[in-house]
Amino acid sequence: MRILTLLVLTACGQEPSEPIPQVDVFSANALRAEVSLLASDEYAGRGTTEPGADLAAAHIRQTFEQAGLQPLPGQPDFAVPYSLYRQTWDTERSTLALTVGDTAISAVAGQNFRPFPFSDTGTVTADVVFAGYGITAAELGWDDYKNLDVNGKIVLVFRHTPDENNEQSEWSEAGEHGLFFSKAVNAQAHGALGMLLVTDPLHHTDADDFRMSGGLRLEPPKAPKDAQESEEPKFLAAQIAPELASKLIEVFATDLSKLQTQVDAREPVQAPIPNATVALALTRQTEVEEVKPVNVIGYLEGTDPQLKEEWVVIGGHYDHLGAFEGQGDTVFNGADDNASGTTGVLAMAQKFAAAGPQKRSLVFAAFSGEELGLLGSRATLQDGVLPADNIRFMLNLDMIGRNNTLISVSGDGFGTGVHDALERTNADLNLALTYGGNTYESNSDHGPFYEADVPFIFLSTGLHDDYHQLSDHADLLDYDVMSGVVRLGYGLTEQVANGSVSPTFVHHVNWLGTTVELVDQPRGAVATVTAVAQDSRADKAGLQVNDILRKVGDRGLEDAAMVGQYFRDITPGKKIRLTYDRGDARKTIDIERSKTGFLGVNLGRITDEFRQNHGLGEDIGVLITNVTEDSPAADAGLHANDTVIALAGEPTGMRSLSRLRTRIGAGERVSVKIIRDGERVKLDITLGERPLPE
């Protein structure tokens, strides 16, 4: 198979009839060829359970086989199936009817409208109010709901954000406001009963995707306890075709493009749509379908009698968003997301296979179901296909072909030795790396491994305007950057595979304010305290660096690797006794796990200009966009448009605020430093507990 066959022939000692130069599988040209294949229209967007994914899986399987890999021990094939359960929307009983004046218009589910996966089921009939982009963004001086009464109404909103195609715009880094779910949450917060969304025509002319896709999950959905409708407020949300939206707004706008131009220019727009009502009914099917997608996994056994039982997993997801019927471009090719990462996995598989086995065993995993919620990777751990106890380290490659300024490295704060290993590899590559440290986001297939206390590194070049768009094409990737990322991943993995680096998971127990690592001793690994945050619970209780934990509550730590699970199992608000050794003495302390501190605010980003004007560091400052009534923030005197810069004496930003609230906990009184109207103000606040739903 193109490049791969030449490497396999060389690795197997077969000489072709004529000398053929060996191709560097990490070269930009080789990577481009592979991405172009996986992201071609032939593979139809590689949607999990769709035919394009089957083609991609067959190609990956063939690549592994030709490279000389074997199926996983105990598996008959490279393709490893797992079960997913699907409950789709009922096309017949999901209806949308528009009434504009004396004109009645019926829509057809799956053809010109579709429910959003997060929508409630039920029915709603209400007047329609146009609400621009449906965005409230105080940090950008934008509020589509200002002076707009949508209580008890259905809102019609544009997709995406204003000024979208202008890279210099203040909106270029505010993509979270353009998410379907964000718009729905904002609409419901303003009292709307439902949301209809239409693609903004000035920036997007591609066909709309009206597939009635149902949610796929690892467990069958539970049957309702009874047939009664829930009394909780319902919120229905759907996307509609431009021709339907045009009918709604034609009474006060000539067309959607003109209306969008007015909104972008902040010109007044007549918001309540005269004589327009919508009747929306959304119902899911009662039948549940079991489907069997596959992960494709190859194995290269290690050579060391002991270390070969420890696996090093190199993974990336091969699925994307699939394709749909319509005019124009209807294939979500997913070149960067994630044909790029899949290509990296394949290239590393070929390179390692050609180089020969390492001391540790290598596992190369192409996951499906990532776009559905990390389902494929999660299934490998839940089903025991990849036993967590066997895995020494996991490398995840996802979206590694764009944004050539900085390469994101996540997970370096959760595994011993990996940061230094990356630095050694990068000494020759000289890539611009940005390290995540102790910051964690479960946004790709490293997530299930993190939850199982497996050290990991996630390499990515980050999001861009073509993310989850039809425009994510192979010709937009920077293959020189991608080559650097793959070489970085290979160099790191090689150090773990050959035994020179043996990562162990670093447990950051934020509510306690301590870091615990597994440290090897003659009688085995022990759970050792390696850091204690000043003024934390651990510090106040007297815990010190180098203390060896022996019990968490009444659970012994004969297996030190259980320490993370034991801490996670502690009920918030409950006191526990820690038993530990300090030198030759055995000691105990009682510590109460706090509930996560609750502020009662909505947060947004501050601008670079604001940060520069006030001398704030790169990761310092988080904007308060809204303060909940009767919340700890309101009681302390915090207001919308305040910028929090420190909490409990620690510099605070979007990344660190959640960690600090966890560590400080509910019921504790701390200081909060803000910037208000250009002045620094210090307030005292007692964090509360998040209120339970009524």
Beta-carbon contacts of 185 under 8 Å, excluding residues fewer than 6 positions away, are none
Give the integer Cα–Cα distance in Å for 555 and 177.
45
Write down the domain spans for the chain: 2-82+292-484, 95-222+232-282, 506-592, 597-689
458 touches 492 (CB < 8 A): no
Give the integer Cα–Cα distance in Å for 106 and 681.
56
Give residue-wise pLDDT tens across range 199-227.
999 888 778 888 887 678 888 876 544 43
Give the integer Cα–Cα distance in Å for 75 and 68.
16
Q: What string of DSSP letters covers 181-228?
A: HHHHHHHHHTT-SEEEEE--TTT--SPP----PPEEESSPPPPPSSSS
Dig out the tokens for 67 from the structure.
Answer: 């490279």
**Residue whose C-alpha is closest to residue 511's, from 531, 529, 536, 530:** 536
Higher pLDDT, 166 or 488: 488
Give residue-wise pLDDT tens across range 5-49.
333 333 344 444 444 456 799 999 999 999 999 999 999 999 999
Fold for the domain defined by 95-222+232-282? Glucose Oxidase; domain 1 (3.50.30)
Higher pLDDT, 449 or 604: 449
For domain 506-592, the CATH class is mainly beta
Give the integer Cα–Cα distance in Å for 278 and 100.
9
pLDDT band at 612 (very low <50, low <70, confident <90, very high): low
Is residue 338 reached through a cis peptide bond, with omega within 30 degrees of 0 on the bond before it? yes
* Residue 168 pLDDT: 67
193 touches 154 (CB < 8 A): yes
Give the integer Cα–Cα distance in Å for 464 and 472.
9
* Residue 173 pLDDT: 63
Give residue-wise pLDDT tens across range 242-292.
999 999 998 887 789 999 999 998 888 888 888 899 999 999 888 888 999
Give the integer Cα–Cα distance in Å for 76 and 295.
13
Check pLDDT > 60 for residue 448.
Answer: yes
Check pLDDT > 60 for residue 492.
Answer: yes
Least reliable range by pLDDT among 59-68, 137-146, 313-322: 137-146
Which residues are 529's β-sheet partners?
A: 516
% the chain with pLDDT above 90? 60
Which residue type occupies 95? T
Fold for the domain defined by 2-82+292-484? Aminopeptidase (3.40.630)
Dig out the tokens for 500 from the structure.
Answer: 């020179």
**How far does the chain reach from its first CA to its final CA, in angstroms?**
60
Task: Tell me what the mean pLDDT of segment 655-674 comes to.
Answer: 78
pLDDT band at 232 (very low <50, low <70, confident <90, very high): low
455 touches 418 (CB < 8 A): yes
240 touches 113 (CB < 8 A): yes
Which residues are 596's β-sheet partners?
A: none
Question: Where on the phi/psi map is residue 600: left (φ > 0), alpha (ψ -120 to 50), or beta?
Answer: left
pLDDT band at 2 (very low <50, low <70, confident <90, very high): very low
pLDDT band at 611 (very low <50, low <70, confident <90, very high): confident
506-592 and 597-689 have identical folds:
yes
Judged by DSSP in three states, 409 sits in strand
Check pLDDT > 50 for residue 190.
Answer: yes
CATH superfamily ID and name for 597-689: PDZ domain (2.30.42.10)
Which residue type occupies 477? L
* Residue 320 pLDDT: 96
Task: Tell me what the mean pLDDT of segment 635-655 comes to.
Answer: 85
Q: Is the dihedral of CA 259, 264, 267, 268 positive or negative?
A: positive
Check pLDDT > 50 for residue 229.
Answer: no
Which residue type occupies 279? A
Mean pLDDT of the chain: 88
Which residue type occupies 665? G
Which residues are 624's β-sheet partners?
A: 603
pTM: 0.78
* Residue 4 pLDDT: 37
Higher pLDDT, 652 or 414: 414
Task: Tell me what the mean pLDDT of segment 620-634 comes to.
Answer: 86
Give the integer Cα–Cα distance in Å for 476 and 214.
31
* Residue 102 pLDDT: 86
